[in-house]
């Protein structure tokens, strides 16, 4: 009895193997079509409104698809979202905010400078002094280098993220990392006020030692 069962299983499985290799040009039987052929969602394609819906309330009898990433998800490799509200309280919160990126290396700064020149210099000028070619047309462009008090890292990021009056938001053009890199680049445009006293301090002892020699 056991022997017959083993032989029957062997014969059956060999038959299955041979039947499934019948023809290379013919696909085999698909018994889970959803796994074999996934639904293709084309991001920008026109969708048949009889089949697709962007209204979550219709999701039961139509396919819900609104081209947006699911709420609360973060793109792989992306930085965490900037959860500061776009209002005066949010802006006040940015005062203490530090740049989360490690200090920029030469390459990062070069890239940030390139992005600044593409996105910001048209209004703010290559040195951030509000003398870009579009500044007059737009009106009200601010000098972001000599601002007093100096903008905090968070403030610069906030303005790039949400825009302000005549300046639009750059959140869709620049990734979070790119915006923080531009903050680092803007810092390099600032006059080195802290370095100046250090230089005079370094010069002073020299004068002293010269005096001693005399």
Footprint of ligand HEC on this chain (CB under 6 A)?
A: 119-120, 122-124, 134, 138, 140-142, 144, 151, 156, 159-160, 164-167, 170, 182
* Pairwise CA distance, residues 160 & 116, whole Å: 11
Which CB, 65 or 163, lies closer to ligand HEC? 163
Least Å from the CB of residue 187 to ligand HEC: 11
Residue 79 CB, nearest approach to ligand HEC (Å)? 16
Q: Which is nearer to ligand HEC, 67 or 188 (CB)?
A: 188
Q: Which is nearer to ligand HEC, 109 or 122 (CB)?
A: 122
Report which of 167, 154, 177, 143 is spatially closest to residue 74, judged by C-alpha positions: 177
DSSP 95-161: GGPPP-SPPP-HHHHHHHHHHHHHHTHHHH-TTSSS--TTHHHH--PPPSSS-SSPPPHHHHHHHHH
Nearest-approach distance from CB 69 to ligand HEC, in angstroms: 23
Token pair, residue 32, equals 């889970």
Residue 141 CB-half CA count within 13 A: 20
> For residue 26, with 0-12 CB atoms within 10 Å meaning exposed, 13-18 middle and 19 or more buried, which class applies?
exposed
Toward ligand HEC, which CB reaches closer, 54 or 108? 108
Least distance from C-beta 127 to ligand HEC, angstroms? 13
Minimal distance, residue 137 CB to ligand HEC, in Å: 8
Residue nearer to ligand HEC on the CB measure, 28 or 137: 137
């Amino acid at each position: 009895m056991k022997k017959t069962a083993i032989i029957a299983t062997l014969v059956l499985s060999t038959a299955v193997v041979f039947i499934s290799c019948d023809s290379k040009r013919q696909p085999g039987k698909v018994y889970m079509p959803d796994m074999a052929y996934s639904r293709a969602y084309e991001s920008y394609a026109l969708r048949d409104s009889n089949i697709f819906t962007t209204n979550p309330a219709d999701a039961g009898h139509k396919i819900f698809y609104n081209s947006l990433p699911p709420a609360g998800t973060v793109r792989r490799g992306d930085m965490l979202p900037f959860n500061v509200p776009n209002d005066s309280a949010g802006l006040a919160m940015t005062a203490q905010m530090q740049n989360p990126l490690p200090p920029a290396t030469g390459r990062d700064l070069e890239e940030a400078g390139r992005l600044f020149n593409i996105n910001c210099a048209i209004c703010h000028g290559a040195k951030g002094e509000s003398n870009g070619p579009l500044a007059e047309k737009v009106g009200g462009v601010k000098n972001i280098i000599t601002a007093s008090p100096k903008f905090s890292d968070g403030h610069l990021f906030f303005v790039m993220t949400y825009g302000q009056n005549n300046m639009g938001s750059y959140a869709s053009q620049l990734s979070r990392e790119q915006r923080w890199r531009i903050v680092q680049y803007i810092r390099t445009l600032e006059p080195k006020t802290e370095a100046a006293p250090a230089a005079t301090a370094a010069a002073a002892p020299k004068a002293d030692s010269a005096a001693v020699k005399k």
